[in-house]
């Protein structure tokens, strides 16, 4: 089977913000063949009754699990509300659940994202922040890039005075295989604007994230 894949620049250093845009995908038939190969490679019989329809199911699941490639942040963040009266303090959305796939092992990592920003000229609907997380989570990812991409998009389209993000996740590639450290949590964070400049603002962010639920 010879599948021609888009030619990504593997040497690109700007992986955090520059996303590969697949334009030419293998056909559904090629996808199903690939899953059959994986089943056989695992040691099972791809024609066995229990798994014979799995290639079809996996193809359908992929459309959902990797739906992030079909969307960009622009549509989601372009509508802001300018009428924010005199509210100019932190807007924080915490405990946004996400499910992603580690790009190194193609197994899930999942957890929570906490996002905060200090509005300048506008605010976005809170559900938009959750959708922003979805866009980047539903791709092949590293937690580091996921963290950077979300805050980058927020800064680009909302231009807040500052933004803060913390991601906590469990990686199945560490829990199920390799070092086998189930329950271990990986934390990543990034701060821009006032949050990067002022220690007291970062402390306020941590206090709110860790505060009583």
Identity of the residue, 25 or 104, whose beta carbon is nearer to Zn ion in the bound complex: 104
SS3 (DSSP) at 31: helix
Residue nearest to Zn ion as judged by C-beta position: 173
CB of 184 to Zn ion, least distance (A): 13
Identity of the residue, 4 or 180, whose beta carbon is nearer to Zn ion in the bound complex: 180
Quick check: 208 and 90 in contact, CB under 8 A? yes
Binding residues for Zn ion, rule: CB under 5 A, are 102, 104-105, 173
CB of 69 to Zn ion, least distance (A): 19
Where do runs of H (alpha helix) occur along 51-188?
54-65, 73-77, 126-137, 143-158, 172-175
Identity of the residue, 80 or 186, whose beta carbon is nearer to Zn ion in the bound complex: 186
CB of 178 to Zn ion, least distance (A): 8
CB of 147 to Zn ion, least distance (A): 16
Identity of the residue, 105 or 204, whose beta carbon is nearer to Zn ion in the bound complex: 105
Neighbours of 55 (CB within 10 A): 21
Output the six-digit token pair for 77: 């963040």
* One-character DSSP codes across 81-121: B---TT--S-EEEEEEEEEEEETTT--EEEEEEEEEEE-SS
């Amino acid at each position: 089977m010879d599948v021609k894949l888009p030619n990504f620049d593997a040497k690109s250093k700007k992986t955090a913000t520059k996303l590969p845009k697949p334009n030419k995908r293998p056909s559904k038939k090629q996808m199903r063949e690939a899953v059959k190969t994986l089943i056989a490679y695992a040691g099972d019989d791809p024609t066995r009754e229990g798994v014979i329809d799995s290639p079809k199911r996996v193809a359908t699941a992929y459309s959902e699990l990797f739906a992030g490639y079909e969307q960009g942040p622009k549509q989601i963040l372009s509508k802001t509300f300018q009428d924010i009266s005199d509210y100019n303090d932190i807007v924080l959305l915490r405990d946004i659940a996400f499910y992603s796939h580690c790009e190194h092992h193609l197994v899930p990592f999942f957890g929570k994202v906490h996002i905060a920003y200090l509005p300048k000229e506008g605010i976005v609907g809170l559900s938009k922040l959750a959708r922003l997380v979805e866009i980047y989570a539903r791709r092949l990812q590293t937690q580091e890039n996921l963290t950077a991409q979300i805050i980058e998009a927020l800064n680009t389209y909302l231009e807040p005075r500052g933004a803060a993000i913390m991601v906590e996740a469990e990686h199945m590639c560490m829990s199920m295989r390799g070092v086998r450290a189930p329950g271990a949590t990986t934390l990543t964070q990034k701060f821009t604007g006032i949050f990067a400049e002022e220690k007291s603002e970062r402390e306020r962010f941590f206090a709110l994230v860790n505060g009583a639920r």
